A and B are shown apart, each in its own frame.
Chain A
Amino acid sequence: MILENIGLAFAEITNVTTLSLMLIGVAGGLIAGAIPGFTIAMAVVLTLPFTFGMPAPQGLATMVSVLVGGLSGGLMAGILTGIPGTPSSVATTFDGFPMARKGEPGLALGIGVWSSFSGGMISAVLLVTLAPQLARIGLEFNPWDYFMLVMFALTITASLSGRSLTKGLIAGAVGLLARTVGEDEAVGMARLNFGNDALLQGFDFIAVLIGLFAFSQLLRDVRDPENAKKSLAEKGTIHAKIEHRRAIRVILKHWTVVVRSALIGVFTGILPGAGGSIANILAYDQAKKASKHPEKFGTGIAEGIIAPESSNNAVEGGALIVLMALGIPGDVTAAVMLGALLIHDVVPSPTFIAEEPVLAYSIFIAFFLATFMMLGLQSFMLRIFVLVTKIRMYMLAGIILGFCGIGVFAINNVEFDLWTLLWFGILGFVMRQFGFPLVPMILGVVLGNIAELNLARAMAITTDLSPFVTRPWSLFFLIIAVFSAVYPLFQAHRGLRIWTLFYQPAVCVAAAVPLFMMGGIPRPILATLLAGYGLWTLYRRWQGGWNLEALSQPVVSE
Chain B
Amino acid sequence: MQRLNRDAVIAIVLLMACGIFFWSTFSIRTPDYGQLKPSTWPRVIIAVLALLSTLYLVQSLRHGPAAVDERDKDDGPARAPGLIGWVLYWRNPLWCFGLFFAYLITLPILGSLIGGVLFVFTLMGVLGGWSPRQLMQHAALALISVGGMWCIFTFALGVLLPPGEVFSPF
List the B side residues contacting A222 at CB < 8 Å: 92-93, 96, 127
Question: Interface of chain B, helix or strand or loop or mixed?
Answer: helix
List the B side residues contacting A456 at CB < 8 Å: 34-36, 41
Contact A177 B45, CB 8 Å, known A187-B33, A398-B123, A402-B146: yes
Contact A413 B160, CB 8 Å, known A395-B141, A407-B149: yes
Smallest CB separation, B49 vs chain A (Å): 4
B159 is an interface residue with CB less than 8 A from chain A: yes
A192 is an interface residue with CB less than 8 A from chain B: yes
* A-B pairs with beta carbons under 8 A, tally: 198
A160 to B145, CA, bound (A): 38
Q: Mark B24-60, 1 if CB is under 8 A from A, else 0.
A: 1100111101111011011001101100110110010
In the complex, the chain A residue whose C-beta lies closest to that of B96 is A219
Beta-carbon contact of B116 and A170 below 8 Å:
no
A398 to B91, CA, bound (A): 15
Instruction: Report which residue of A166, A223, A402, A459 has the largest number of chain B beta carbons within 10 angstroms of its beta carbon.
Output: A402
Q: Which of chain A's residues 174-228 have a Cβ closer than 8 Å to chain B?
A: 174, 176-177, 180, 184, 186-187, 189-192, 194, 218-220, 222-228
B90 is an interface residue with CB less than 8 A from chain A: yes
A399 is an interface residue with CB less than 8 A from chain B: yes
A429 to B34, CA, bound (A): 39
Smallest CB separation, A489 vs chain B (Å): 13
Please give the number of chain A residues whose Cβ is less than 8 angstroms from any Cβ of chain B in the complex: 65
Q: Mark B107-129, 1 if CB is under 8 A from A, else 0.
A: 11000100111011001100111
A401 is an interface residue with CB less than 8 A from chain B: yes
List the A side residues contacting B120 at CB < 8 Å: 398-399, 401-402
A53 is an interface residue with CB less than 8 A from chain B: yes
A406 is an interface residue with CB less than 8 A from chain B: yes
- Among B52, B69, B116, the residue within 8 A (CB) of A166 is B52
Contact A50 B152, CB 8 Å, known A163-B69, A177-B49, A186-B38: yes
Beta-carbon contact of B158 and A53 below 8 Å:
yes
- Among B42, B149, B159, the residue within 8 A (CB) of A177 is B42
Contact A229 B153, CB 8 Å, known A186-B36, A403-B145: no
Beta-carbon contact of A224 and B76 below 8 Å:
yes
Beta-carbon contact of B107 and A418 below 8 Å:
yes
Beta-carbon contact of A394 and B128 below 8 Å:
yes
A170 to B48, CA, bound (A): 9
Q: Which of chain A's residues 144-185 have a Cβ closer than 8 Å to chain B?
A: 163, 166-167, 169-170, 173-174, 176-177, 180, 184
- Among A167, A174, A433, A452, the residue within 8 A (CB) of B49 is A174
Beta-carbon contact of B141 and A399 below 8 Å:
yes
- Among A163, A402, A406, the residue within 8 A (CB) of B142 is A402
Smallest CB separation, B41 vs chain A (Å): 5
A413 to B52, CA, bound (A): 37
B71 is an interface residue with CB less than 8 A from chain A: yes
Q: Mark B56-69, 1 if CB is under 8 A from A, else 0.
A: 10010000000001
Beta-carbon contact of B42 and A434 below 8 Å:
no
Beta-carbon contact of A452 and B41 below 8 Å:
yes
In the complex, the chain A residue whose C-beta lies closest to that of B104 is A418
Q: Known pairs A219-B92, A228-B92. 19 more at Cβ < 8 A?
A: A163-B69, A173-B48, A177-B45, A180-B41, A192-B25, A223-B90, A224-B75, A224-B76, A224-B92, A394-B127, A395-B124, A395-B137, A395-B141, A402-B142, A406-B161, A415-B104, A455-B36, A456-B36, A463-B35
Q: When A and B form their complex, which 9 residue pairs have the shortest distance between CB atoms, in order from nearest?
A: A224-B76, A394-B127, A53-B157, A402-B120, A459-B35, A189-B38, A173-B49, A219-B93, A456-B36
- Show 19 residue pairs from A and B whose CB-CB distance is below 8 angstroms, ordered by the A residue: A53-B157, A163-B69, A180-B45, A184-B41, A218-B96, A220-B93, A222-B93, A223-B93, A224-B92, A225-B91, A226-B77, A394-B128, A402-B117, A402-B142, A402-B145, A405-B100, A415-B108, A422-B97, A434-B10
**A-binding residues in B (CB < 8 A):** 6-7, 10, 14, 21, 24-25, 28-31, 33-36, 38-39, 41-42, 45-46, 48-49, 52-53, 55-56, 59, 69, 71-72, 74-77, 90-93, 96-97, 100-101, 103-104, 107-108, 112, 115-117, 119-120, 123-124, 127-129, 137-138, 141-142, 145-146, 149-150, 152-153, 156-162
